[in-house]
Amino acid sequence: MTSEHVHIAIVGAGFSGLGAAIRLRQAGIHEFVILERDEEIGGVWRDNLYPGCACDVESPLYSFSFAPNPGWSRMYSPQAEILAYLRRCADEHGVRAHLRLGHAVSEAVWDPDHRRWALETSRGRFTADVLIAGTGGLSEPRVPELRGRERFEGRAFHSARWDAEAPLSGRVAVVGTGASAVQIVPNIVDRVGQLKLFQRTPAWVVPRKDRAFSRLEQRMFALAPFTQRMLRAQLYLRHESFLLGFRNPALMRLVQRRALRYLADQVPDRELRARLRPNFTLGCKRILVSDDYYPALTRDKVEVVSAGVREVVGSGLVDTEGRTHEVDTIIWATGFEVAEPPFARYVRGRSGDSLAQVWRGSPKAYLGTTVAGFPNLFLLTGPNTGLGHSSMLLMIEAQLELILGAVRELGRGAVTIEPDPQVQARFVEEIERGGAGTVWTAGGCSSWYLDGTGRNSTLWPWSTFSYMRRAKFERGDYVIEDA
């Protein structure tokens, strides 16, 4: 069977993949395709259609620095607006022609003879000199493997696969109290007959203080773009200052006091309040920002079930205390496969082993981007590029500069680039040391930031500025094969 050869194959057309495409074009590199499994672009902002879906980092900061949007309607823009922004970015930056929609990649194998990647997709084969994975860390829904799941007689779906047809007017169970549930619950509460929220671990919630941008502000941002840049800079510095608390958990007590006051103001019922009180240091799990979550939980039709789910039965859920809860609809707001992304299973490097086999549940990559033994592979939002305190787009953009540096090196005669295994190992140790004593590792919670081995393989433990400074292509850090 024939295959199409491309210089660069980008997998995924979300913020990462589109950002890569735009920066490549801006750098004068046009020989690339974007392989997207869906028929539409947008990544998580296409997939998450639950009521109330919005960003939880302010829009002026949660957007590309090279594509400011003076038209954001609110500080925290809703999903549809973010998706429209991404579509506009793709149009305005000439990315559409590079898109191969409906191309699900099922295998990416390094071909040592031709020194390139061989890709299998649902619509044919490709070969590529360079593979950029923009597959996202939060793209594969995770529904707990509970006994009896197939026996449930009602409608059940994951928050990221919203079933718009599901009748919400009856008895609804929401399982999970993460960033998705906190947006879903207040936005369906008016519609449901009865809502049971399964809370295994109470989360820290702080006020969002969302507000609309006025017409005047939008006009000002459009006519004098530096005003929006100033707002972005101010938001950037505010988020970076949060890092002080994340790195010094004792300081988080001050913020915790404010969050507890917020809880007390919002939830008058003492017994409910006690159940909602978190028992770990603020920041250990993602901090939830919401103005309407607590008020929703005080409604008569809402019950907070302070237990996990033990099993699913035909009529509903059995909690870990053995109580059966009869419901008509189950919404699994139970998060994503972070430490074992499916992409890792189908990318095979020099040794023939997949990333998943090499990582064994604990992903490692140099600067979160390149992996020893996997030449010319670049991971966007790879291991330890996640953030608990600011906008992921800052990290993605910094990674793109690093990748551009490597791609330019390939343009100068290099054929393969991969990190020196020792440089990668030293980097991983450094990350380990950098995470010690932070709220993520010492905050007394179990979160998806830590993998099955207890390592932080998700977050960058320092400032975004320090990542931007380091994410430059330094020849000496890599093993480079020339033609």
**Toward ligand NAP, which CB reaches closer, 183 or 370?**
183
State in angstroms the smallest separation of the CB of 66 from ligand NAP: 21
The 3-class SS string of 448-480 reads: CCECCCCCECCECCCCHHHHHHHCCCCHHHEEE
Tokens of 440: 């993520």
- Contacts to ligand NAP by CB under 6 A: 54-56, 138, 144, 159, 175-181, 183, 198, 200-201, 286, 308-309, 333-336, 448
- Considering the complex, state which of residue 49 and residue 222 has its C-beta at the smaller distance from ligand NAP: 49
Cα-based angle 232, 138, 361 (whole degrees, multiple of 5): 125
Residue with tokens 């530096």: 226
For the CB of residue 309, give the shortest distance to ligand NAP in the complex, in Å. 4
Which is nearer to ligand NAP, 33 or 259 (by Cβ)? 259
DSSP letters spanning 280-320: S-TTSSPPEE-SSHHHHHTSTTEEEE-S-EEEEETTEEEET
Contacts of 45 (CB under 8 A, 6+ apart): 14, 15, 79, 82, 83, 86
Contact between 196 and 174 (Cβ < 8 Å):
yes
Cβ at position 50, least distance to ligand NAP in Å: 9
Eight-state DSSP code of residue 203: P
Q: Which is nearer to ligand NAP, 201 or 315 (CB)?
A: 201
The residue (of 100 and 196) whose beta carbon lies closer to ligand NAP is: 196
- What are the CB-based long-range contacts (under 8 Å, 24+) for 298-302? 298/266, 298/267, 298/268, 298/269, 298/272, 299/189, 299/195, 301/189, 301/192, 301/193, 301/194, 301/195, 302/185, 302/189, 302/194, 302/195, 302/196, 302/197
- Minimum Å distance from CB 285 to ligand NAP? 6
Q: How far is the CB of 470 from ligand NAP (least distance, A)?
A: 23
Contact 181, 266 (CB under 8 A): no
Q: How far is the CB of 385 from ligand NAP (least distance, A)?
A: 13
**CA quadruple 211, 213, 214, 217: dihedral sign:** positive
Which residue lies nearer to ligand NAP by CB, 85 or 478? 85
Smallest distance, ligand NAP to C-beta of residue 294, A: 16
Please say which residue, 139 or 416, places its beta carbon nearer to ligand NAP: 139
Nearer to ligand NAP, 186 or 335 (CB): 335
CA angle, corner 202, sides to 201 and 205, nearest 5? 140
Closest CA to 481 of 437, 417, 386, 399: 417
Shorter beta-carbon distance to ligand NAP: residue 134 or 176 = 176
Rounded Cα distance, 289 and 224, in Å: 30
Nearest to ligand NAP of 174, 377 (CB atom): 174
Question: From the CB of residue 24, how many other CB atoms can be counted at a distance below 10 Å?
Answer: 24
* DSSP letters spanning 10-45: EE--SHHHHHHHHHHHHTT---EEEEESSSS--THH
Cα–Cα dist 453/445, whole Å:
14
Rank residues 77 and 376 by Cβ distance to ligand NAP and give the closer one: 77
Q: Which is nearer to ligand NAP, 214 or 279 (CB)?
A: 279
Q: Which is nearer to ligand NAP, 140 or 353 (CB)?
A: 140
Least Å distance between CB 319 and ligand NAP?
9
Least distance from C-beta 159 to ligand NAP, angstroms? 6
Phi, psi for residue 129 in degrees, rounded to 5: -70, -35
Tokens read off for 354? 């997949």
- Residues 385, 369: contact at Cβ < 8 Å? yes
Tell me how long the chain is.
Answer: 483
Minimum CB separation of residue 477 from ligand NAP in Å reads 29
Q: How far is the CB of 183 from ligand NAP (least distance, A)?
A: 6
How far is residue 341's CA from residue 354's CA, in Å, rounded to a whole number? 12
Nearest approach in angstroms of CB 270 to ligand NAP is 23
* Residue for token pair 């939060």: 138
Q: What is the maximum span of the chain, computed from C-alpha positions, in angstroms?
A: 71
CA distance 99 to 206: 40
The least CB distance from residue 335 to ligand NAP, in Å, is 2
